[in-house]
Structure 1
């Protein structure tokens, strides 16, 4: 039987409970995602991550830590990273004249600042034991999406691609992988897939020429991708994260992507209906895996007020196990290799050493 750990789960608090430990030992669990509720200070976060790795060293510890309003850890020394729109705005400003001109402006400064953001983000997270941040956002800023908003670099896919590539370079310099999201693009629709099912009625030609272009241009440096819980009815009736057309035919086939694919959170409203029918967490997970996802996220299910304190996670673990036994889901060697490829390959620089590292201090100058 092939070993494949596709489920990314959450935990409720600052330390692991016996139930958390049991779930993290389950062979179908491949990692977990942290939230602000899992943060008290650096010492606590570092101890929590070390405790997780003692259970299984291959568990992938993830977080949404983009900068701006989506940054889970903001105190006790963590650098406040700007929203990505600020880098796009820097790109558009006239370059400063003269070698001693103060302030950063223009495309070249913007790419340097993006690399610095990626490096500082990755280095600080890794110093505390976090393996992966789900970033950068590759969505285009059309101005109408409140959930994307200033999380996007710019409207122009060329600007988005070059700034995202620079940010990815900084993350890779810190030893952290990256995750482009939300394929093929969430920026055009106004609805929030956390609470609704957005529908984008544009043609495939229009989406490929604009929103999805960064995924083709960045396919040599993007190590993982997260699809959108958005329906594009002129391509498929299913949301992109449940669509083999989008994930296998287009993302992997036409655009040449070879890295890992994460589903977005299966507890979001945009993931709870497939083919017009309400689905359980297990059904959603199986649909995402069958469509081409290597890993599926199930967030905010460990809380006592949500699904009875982890019952949703346990139901998916039981459901996936049953589906595997019945041959309804086949584990993937390739999917497991792609998951493990996201784990850092080099030791992290510890926090105190990082604070005096020349490369880190130089990067901070670009963010200030």
Structure 2
């Protein structure tokens, strides 16, 4: 039986583990590590860091935000990926080529992150862009929810083909608000029917194929006064109405959009009580320690262990796979 993972995912200071961080990762409340740009000097260095983390606890989940475009934490030694909107740009004239490109991008991302020793990237973005949100913008595949669902599904297929899980964000949709939840708490006043007809479409279509989902630090005031990641109503809808059975990750509890839930420890318990399985707490070590202490009596969900990188097919390391990598790499670099 695999070891139990705690419900806290935290960050690191630099490109190598410190003695303090080794002690911190040994805490049973910790279940994972997320890497940022400051932790990623090169692909080789990230692989060494992954090995160092696994030497402390082999079962820990190792994650990164590697979407492409503006959000690509690791840049040296891996493919420079285009933004999601760039991947989707040719859909009107070359629909099958574009769908295949999105699948190839997911496959390449999964292969490269796995080669660096990582279990998952928080991708794909499934927000529907309506031209309002600067923090989403070209991170979205399209302003059309059906296109986001179709091409997001192709990207998921590519990740799965590489043996890697897919984590969709930001449920139920961050594309309809101008405010940046890193800096403030956005409020979306649209009624649930409007959200169902637009922003929720990709999540509804893809809930059965996603391994993880990250809710937004956004209040959808017509449905619940709490941000989605702290809302039993929203996460209950995700589980019950959409039938999602994977892992629910909180967005970073240190973001300004999470502050309405109280101190870091209170935010952690509110997110767990709402239905989150794993809590991200980043760029604030004091907050991370408070969250760890708050989670002492809260064991991690058994479903967390399903997110370890799952490649078990020897053909993925074959010459045809290498040939495909070269072709896809060159195409995506040209688009970026």
Query: Normalising by the residue count of structure 2, what TM-score does the alignment of the two structures yield?
Result: 0.94
| d(CA) in 1 for partners of 2:321, 2:230 | 46
In structure 1, the partner of 2:323 is 358
In structure 2, the partner of 1:185 is 173
Q: What are the within-5 Å matches in structure 2 for residues 163-312 of structure 1? A: 163-248=151-236, 250-274=237-261, 279-301=262-284, 310-312=285-287
Structure 1: tracts of 5 or more residues without a match: 95-105, 302-309, 325-329
In structure 2, the partner of 1:99 is none
Q: CA deviation at 1:247?
A: 0.2
1:144-203 superposed Cα distances (whole Å, 9 cap, x missing partner): 110001000001111001111111111111111011100000000000000010000000
Structure 2: tracts of 5 or more residues without a match: none
| d(CA) in 1 for partners of 2:184, 2:322 | 45
SS, match of residue 188 in structure 2: coil
SS, match of residue 126 in structure 2: coil
In structure 2, the partner of 1:101 is none
Q: CA deviation at 1:316?
A: 1.6
Between 226-235 and 208-217, the greater mean CA deviation after superposition: 208-217
Select 1:121's aligned residue among 98, 109, 113.
109
Find the structure with the greater CA-based Rg: 1
| d(CA) in 2 for partners of 1:40, 1:355 | 29
CA contact (8 A) 1:126 1:348 kept: no
Q: CA deviation at 1:134?
A: 0.2
The yes-or-no answer on 1:149 pairing with 2:122 is: no
Q: What are the within-5 Å matches in structure 2 for residues 89-108 of structure 1? A: 89-92=89-92, 94=93, 106-108=94-96
Corresponding pairs, count: 330
Query: Normalising by the residue count of structure 1, what TM-score does the alignment of the two structures yield?
Result: 0.86
SS, match of residue 237 in structure 1: coil
Q: CA deviation at 1:355?
A: 10
In structure 2, the partner of 1:82 is 82
1:79-134 superposed Cα distances (whole Å, 9 cap, x missing partner): 11110001222113x2xxxxxxxxxxx21111100011111111111101011000
In structure 1, the partner of 2:67 is 66
The yes-or-no answer on 1:134 pairing with 2:117 is: no
| d(CA) in 2 for partners of 1:356, 1:187 | 36
In structure 2, the partner of 1:43 is 44
| d(CA) in 2 for partners of 1:111, 1:331 | 40
Q: CA deviation at 1:4?
A: 5.0
1:313-349 superposed Cα distances (whole Å, 9 cap, x missing partner): 222212222xx2xxxxx535xx2x2211111122598
Q: CA deviation at 1:362?
A: 3.9
| d(CA) in 1 for partners of 2:148, 2:189 | 23
Cα gap change, 1:3/1:364 in structure 2, threshold over 3 Å: closer, same or farther?
closer
Q: CA deviation at 1:7?
A: 0.2
| d(CA) in 1 for partners of 2:288, 2:319 | 36
SS, match of residue 67 in structure 2: strand
| d(CA) in 2 for partners of 1:197, 1:355 | 48
1:203-230 superposed Cα distances (whole Å, 9 cap, x missing partner): 0111011101111111221110000000
1:259-280 superposed Cα distances (whole Å, 9 cap, x missing partner): 1100000000000113xxxx11
In structure 2, the partner of 1:5 is 6
